[in-house]
Amino acid sequence: MLQALRHAQPADDPPATTAAAWAGGALAWAGSWALVLGLDGPIDLAHQALLVVLGGTLAALWWPPVAALAGGAAAVLAFNALLVPPRGSLAVARWQDALLLALMAGALAVAVGLIVRLRGQAGQARLHQARAEQLRQLGEALRDSGDPLAHAGVLQAQLAALAGAPVALLLCRAWPLADAAVATIGHADDEENAGLWHGLRQGRPMGPGTGRHGELAHWVLPLRGAVTEGGAALGAALLRLPPGRRHDDALRAHAQALCDQFGVALQRRFNREAADAATAQAQLQAVRNALLTAISHDYRTPLATILGAASSLQDQGQRLDPAQRAALAGRIVQEAEHLARLADNTLQLARLDAPGVVLQRDWESAEDLVGTVMRRARQRAPGRVLRARLEPGLPLLHCDAMLLTQLLDNLVDNALRHTPADAPVELLVRRAPGGPADAPPGVVLAVRDRGPGVAPAWRARIFEVFQRGESAAGAAPPRTGTGVGLAVCRAIARAHGGELTLRARNHGGSSFECHLPGTTQPAPAEGTA
C-alpha cells in the first residue's frame, strides 16, 4: 500500500527535461532541415519556410519553452543566411523575402507559445489527477482499516514526498484530547514540537502563505475532523520547506486535503469508540435495571407471605387455634429460608462478577459434595423422590466446596420447584467422556428431572440473570422464578474453568450438567494404612 501510494506521487515542479525529450526536439529540427536542404531547388523558398516552421513547432513539443524559442530564432537566422538570396549573408535582397522571414518568425513564436501553453495545461491536468488519485488511495486505505493510526506512516511518506523533506506528525490517540494520549511520528525539535501542539490546539495552519507566522521555514497543517469544541484539530503535520523547491498554495492545499482526510478518519474512529462505549454503558444500565427490578420482584413474593403470616399472628393470634398458628409460623420459616437462599445467590453472583475473585480451592470428593447437597435437599423437601448416583472411583475435584455445593443446591432446588411433586430428581456424577487419554479426566455433575422440560427458545437464555423459563408444554411460567439461581450456577461453573449446560432428555425432562475440567490428582497418601 505504501509503495503504491508513493508511486502515485506526482512531480510538483515542471518535470526536468530528459535526454529523450532533448533528442526528440533535435530530431524534429534535423528532419525539417534535412528536407529543407535536400529539396532545395525543386521547391521554392515559401515551402522551405513552412518546413522550418513545422520543425520548430514539433521541437516545441519536447523542448522547454526558452530552448524552443531560441531554437526558432536561430532557425530563422540560419534560413536567412543559407537560403534567402543573396545566400551566404544576412542581407535580404527583396522586400518579399523580408516579409517571408518576418512571417516565419511570427508563426514560429505563436506556434511555440501555443504548444507551451498546451503542455502546461496537460501537466496541470496530470498533476490534479495524480493528487486526486493520491487522496482517493489514502481515503480507501483509511476506510478499510479500523485504525487510522496504522496508516500514519503512509500520510507521513506522502507529505514528505510533497514537501521534499522529512515530515513530523502529532496525532491524537484518544478523544477528548489529553496530553498523554498523543503519538509523535517522525522527529521534531522542541520548537517544532511547540508548533505542532499549537497547530493541534488551534486547528489552523501556520507558515508561509497561510497568513499566520509567514516567517517560518515550515508549514504546520492541522488534521481537521468535523468541527470540534474549541476548534482543536485531531493532529498536526509539520512540513519542512527546503529552499530551492517551489511551495505554492496549490501544493499546500493538497497537503492540507491529505491531512484533513486523515483527521476525518481519526474523528470517525473516535466517534465510533464513543458510540460503542455509550451502547455498552446503556446495555450495562439496562442489565442493572432488569436485575434490580427482578430482585425486587423475587424478594417481594416471599416477603408478602411473611408479612401476611406474621401480621396475622400479631393481630389475630388469640383467636387462631394452635394448628393455624403453627401453620402460619411454618410458612414464615419456609419463606424466610427461601429469601435467605435468594440473598445468598444474589451476593454470590455479585462476588463472582467482581474482578479478581479468588476461589478457596481444595481437594474435594464428589461424595462429600453430593452427600451435603442431598442432606439439605431432603430437609427442604421431605416428601420428594431424590436419588444420588456416583460412578465408582471418581477423581478428586480441585474446587471451592462452598461454591460447588451452592451450585448443586440451586440445581436441585430448581428441579424440585419446576417439576410435579411425584417426579423424581436425580443427582449424577460421572467421568466426562472423551478427552485425550493422558489428560486427567474431567467430571460431569448432572441434576436430572422428569419434569415438563424447558422450551427450546428458552434453553440458551435460561442462564441469564432473572430469566424465567416457559415450560415446554406451554404452561404458565412458575410463580417463583429461578431468579439469580441459574446465573450463579453458571458463574460458579465458569469460575472453575468449566461450563454449565442444559440438555433436554429423551422421554422428557431436563438435565442440567456442570462440566468441570480434569485436574492432575495429588500424590496418594503414603506411609499410612
User: 69 CB contacts (<8 Å, ≥6 apart)?
Assistant: 109, 112
Q: Closer CB to another protein, residue 94 or residue 389? A: 389
Residue 105 has a CB neighbour count (10 Å cut-off) of 19
Give the binding-site size for another protein (rule: CB under 8 A). Answer: 35
Provide the grid cell at 77. 537566422
Burial (CB count <10 Å: 0-12, 13-18, 19+), residue 501: middle
Q: Closer CB to another protein, residue 252 or residue 341? A: 341
Residue 342 is a binding residue for another protein (CB under 8 A): no
Residue 282 is a binding residue for another protein (CB under 8 A): no
* Minimum CB–partner distance for residue 420 and another protein (Å): 23
Site of grid cell 514526498: 161
d(C-alpha 332, C-alpha 324), whole Å: 12
Residue 400 is a binding residue for another protein (CB under 8 A): yes
Given 40, 97, 133, 364, the residue binding another protein (CB under 8 A): 364
Dihedral through CA 37, CA 42, CA 47, CA 48, nearest 10? 10
DSSP for residue 231: G
Residue 354 is a binding residue for another protein (CB under 8 A): no
Bridge partners, residue 398, by sequence: 363
Provide the grid cell at 443. 467430571
Q: Closer CB to another protein, residue 165 or residue 386? A: 386
Given 40, 97, 133, 368, the residue binding another protein (CB under 8 A): 368
Given 363, 457, 473, 505, the residue binding another protein (CB under 8 A): 363
The residue range among 60-68, 220-228, 393-401, 480-488 that interacts with another protein, by the rule CB under 8 A, is 393-401
Provide the grid cell at 129. 489527477
d(C-alpha 349, C-alpha 490), whole Å: 10
Residue 92 is a binding residue for another protein (CB under 8 A): no
d(C-alpha 120, C-alpha 140), whole Å: 30
Q: Closer CB to another protein, residue 39 or residue 340? A: 340
Q: Closer CB to another protein, residue 297 or residue 375? A: 375
Given 111, 112, 152, 369, the residue binding another protein (CB under 8 A): 369
Residue 391 is a binding residue for another protein (CB under 8 A): no
Provide the grid cell at 316. 389475630
Residue 61 is a binding residue for another protein (CB under 8 A): no
Residue 370 is a binding residue for another protein (CB under 8 A): yes
Residues in the chain: 529
Which residue type occupies 345? N
Residue 476 is a binding residue for another protein (CB under 8 A): no
Task: Name the helix (H) or strand (E) containing 500.
Answer: strand 499-504
Residues 401-430 that bind another protein (CB under 8 A): 401-402, 404-405
Given 17, 372, 480, 501, the residue binding another protein (CB under 8 A): 372
Provide the grid cell at 117. 501553453
Among 275, 181, 278, residue whose Cα is nearest residue 232: 181
Residue 462 is a binding residue for another protein (CB under 8 A): no
Residue 390 is a binding residue for another protein (CB under 8 A): yes
Provide the grid cell at 236. 498536526
HEC-encoded secondary structure of 119-147:
HHHHHHHHHHHHHHHHHHHHHHHHHHCCC
Residue 359 is a binding residue for another protein (CB under 8 A): no
Given 132, 165, 388, 432, the residue binding another protein (CB under 8 A): 388
Given 137, 193, 365, 480, the residue binding another protein (CB under 8 A): 365
Q: Closer CB to another protein, residue 356 or residue 522? A: 522
Residue 313 is a binding residue for another protein (CB under 8 A): no
Helix ranges (DSSP H) in 83-215: 95-144, 152-163, 190-202
Residues that bind another protein (CB under 8 A): 333, 336-337, 340, 344, 347, 351, 360, 362-365, 367-372, 374-375, 388-390, 396, 400-402, 404-405, 521-522, 524-525, 528-529
